Every structure is written in structure tokens, then in C-alpha cells.
Amino acid sequence: MMDDYTLPFWIYLCVLTVFVGGAMKMILASHLSTASTLVAWLGATVLVERLWAFCLPAMLLLVLLGLTCCFYNATRSAPLPTTLPAHGKAVFITGCDSGFGNATAKRLDAMGFEVFATVLDLSGDGARELQRTCSPRLTLLQVDITQPQQIQQALLDTRTKLGLKGLWGLVNNAGRCVNIGDAELSLMSNFRGCMEVNFFGTLSVTKCFLPLLRQAKGRIVTISSPAGDHPFPCLAAYGASKAALNLFINTLRHELEPWGVQVSIILPSAFKTGHPSNYAYWEQQHKQLLQNLSPALLEDYGEDYVTETKDLFHSHASQANPDLSPVVDAIIHALLAPQPQARYFAGPGVGLMYFIQTYCPFSVSNRFLQKMFMKKKLTPYALRKQSGFNLNLSLHNNNNNNNGEKLM
């Protein structure tokens, strides 16, 4: 019976096997619940049974997939390879005033790293907390990564303290998100501000510290965002800056491989960090937006539409996960694993999001993004007005038609 199958059939079979294996790997890595995983397994089994009806019985296929799952889980749950020692290794972290940077600086210091932590304000709460809780090994540096002179000074200070030793790790954490509306409503200053911090600032820091990293054959770990790979509504400025950052980091990974420098990117889900969790922050951004919008544009969209967007952003930020440990754990693994991953999904839902984008039709992934993030109830005022006008016109025409029928 095996002779009845042609070469194209076996090629097709191999391609399908790779597809199903990759899909199941993504499912298992997507932090799904047991019930959701079971449904995904059953769905995949039914699909493959239909396609492979002439090759493998469904039960045998299920057994093979089960064995693959057991093997993958055993591999995933097995102890990680012996990590590299933290003692004697120096790490430079940007954006340590709060959030991921602050938490990472404290954890790395406790592990024995020599930490260089940058903050925007040396007298701020975040800087004082690091001084109070960390060891004398930690060095605080006041750096705005959009200012090249401050980056150069930080490089000189770091090089002076390291002496002949290179820099083991660079954690690009500093970032900015000031988007609170549709792309047409977003101020140009928001687009430029996001690009200056998230892309150009990170680019400047990375280029400046690369000689020290190449010397130590060290690691570059960059905190990015799924918004750089997915077109989230109302995040055009932030997403565009992260998309540029993602491409730069992925290119850098290939270029630095001959130098022995490992490059990783962290893609977190929604976490409660910094100003975005503060209601006053969103009120300030909302007020600034209304003051700078042209009257015509504000009339087309409606102030209630803009206000709803602001409220949705604040609600999304307030419901974010306050436990930052998934991101910190991913950073530590990227710094100390003998073979770090190129990409880390940190937090629940991120793996599922990338799975849907990779394996589902565009219409499904597009609808998923719209329903998952900004669940808007209002449409722009001009569209509502137009819809109401069309409705009135339709009713008027129906009344005229009815009157005409009565006259006849």
C-alpha cells in the first residue's frame, strides 16, 4: 500500500507534520488553561484526521501527538542547564526609576551582579529605594537616554569603574508610551517622543556600549512590546517605535553572532508599571490632547469619543498585572542561560496572541486584536451623525412610499 503514494504526497505529509508540530508547540507555550489546551488538542486531532485519513488512523495519530506532548513537557519541566555564575559580572540597566528596571536592578544586585542602574532623577523615589535596599556594588547614574552627552558620560563612568573588565550585560528597559487615541488624533509630538525614547534612545545606548559588550562576549536584553508586531488600535505611535526597535534588535542578533554576543528580546503582556497606572497621568494626557486638537477634528470625532478612549486606557492599565516577576525572570534567564532564547514571551496571553497571528487567518487575528484591547462602544461623532441622517432619510422615503400607495 505504501507504494501507492507519490513523492508529492510524502512532501505534503512532511510539511503538514512540521505545521502541526509547530502549532502544538505554540499552544503548549501559550499559558492556556487545561480546558483550553484540551480543546486545542482535540481540534488539531480532528483536523489532521481529516487530512491524513489515508495514512494514519486517528487513534494512532492521537497516541503519537500524546507522546510528543509528554516529551515536550518533560523537556520543558526538566531543570534548566546549569546557569552561568552571577558573581563578577557587570550589567548596565536603563530606566530604573520604577517598573521592570527597578525590580531587575534589585534582583540582580541580590544575586551578586555589579549593577549600573540609570534613573532620570537621582533624588526620586525609585533612586532612593535602590540606594536604601541594594548593596554598595550598585552604581546609580542619572541618564536621559535621549541626551547623547549623558549617555557618553555614563559610558565613561562605567568604563572607569570596570577597569579592564568588559560589560557582561546591557538591559535596554527605558521606554515611553504617550498614545491615548487614534493615529489621526495623536499629536506629532507623541510620535516623535516615542521614537526618541523607544528607538533612537535605545539605539544610542546600545551603540555606545557595544565595545564593552564585545570585549566580554556578553548579552543584550531589550524590553520591547507585542505592540511592535501587532497593530493594536490606538497605539500607532508606541507600536511604530517598538516595531522599529524590534527590527533593529533582530538585525543586531545576526550581526553580533560572530562576536559571541547573545541578543534577546522580551515581549511582556500587560503589567502595572510607572505612570500609566496613575489616573492623574491619563487625565493630564487627555487634557493636553483636547487642547491641541483642531476644532474641526474634534468635531468629527467628538469629545465623548476621545474621553471614552482615555477611560479605556486607564481601565486597561489599572487591571494590569502588578507582579513583575515573569519579566524579571526572563531577563535573568537571558543574562545567565548558556543558550538564551532569541525571544521571550513574558506573562499570560502573549504566546497565544503570537500563535493566533501566526496560524490563524488574517480576519481572525484582526478581530482578536480589536476585541481584546480597546472594546470601544462609541464610533466617531461624524459617523454617528451620518448614520442618523441616513436612517432619517430612509424613514422619510418609506413614509413617502406609503403615502403614495394610499393615494393610488
Grid-cell match 502588578, residue found: 322
Strand 219-223: give its sheet, edge to edge: 139-142, 114-119, 90-93, 169-172, 219-223, 262-268, 343-346
Q: What is the mean pLDDT of residues 129-139?
A: 95
Backbone dihedral angles phi then psi of residue 41, each to the nearest 5 degrees: -60, -50
Half-sphere exposure of 285 (CA within 13 A, CB side): 25
Q: Which of 71-85, 154-168, 313-327 has the highest mean pLDDT?
A: 154-168
Q: d(Cα 98, Cα 104) in Å, to the nearest integer? A: 10
pLDDT of residue 80: 42
pLDDT of residue 32: 47
At residue 34, does pLDDT exceed 60? no
| pLDDT tens readout for residues 45-66 | 656 555 555 555 555 555 566 6
pLDDT of residue 177: 78
Residue type, 12: Y
- State the maximum Cα–Cα separation within the chain, in Å, rounded to a whole number: 101
Percent of the chain scoring above 70 in pLDDT: 72
Tell me if the pTM is above 0.85: no
At residue 131, does pLDDT exceed 70? yes
Q: d(Cα 204, Cα 198) in Å, to the nearest integer? A: 11
CA 359, 363, 364: angle at the middle one, nearest 5? 55
pLDDT of residue 17: 65
Contact 282, 180 (CB under 8 A): yes
pLDDT of residue 181: 83
pLDDT of residue 390: 55
Q: Comparing C-alpha atoms, which of 136, 141, 88, 99 is closest to residue 117?
A: 141
| pLDDT tens readout for residues 163-215 | 888 999 999 999 887 767 889 998 898 899 999 999 999 999 999 999 999 99
DSSP 38-67: HHHHHHHHHHHHHHTTTTS-HHHHHHHHHH
At residue 376, does pLDDT exceed 60? yes
pLDDT, mean over the chain: 81
Has 305 been annotated as catalytic?
no
Q: Where in the chain is the domain with CATH 3.40.50.720?
A: 90-269+323-372
| pLDDT tens readout for residues 229-256 | 888 888 899 999 999 999 999 999 999 9
CATH class (in words) of the domain with range 90-269+323-372: alpha beta
Q: Comparing C-alpha atoms, which of 145, 150, 159 is closest to residue 101?
A: 145
* Marked catalytic residue, from 72, 238, 305, 381: 238
Q: What is the mean pLDDT of residues 1-25?
A: 59
Residue type, 228: G
What are the start-end ranges of the H helices in 52-124?
58-77, 99-111
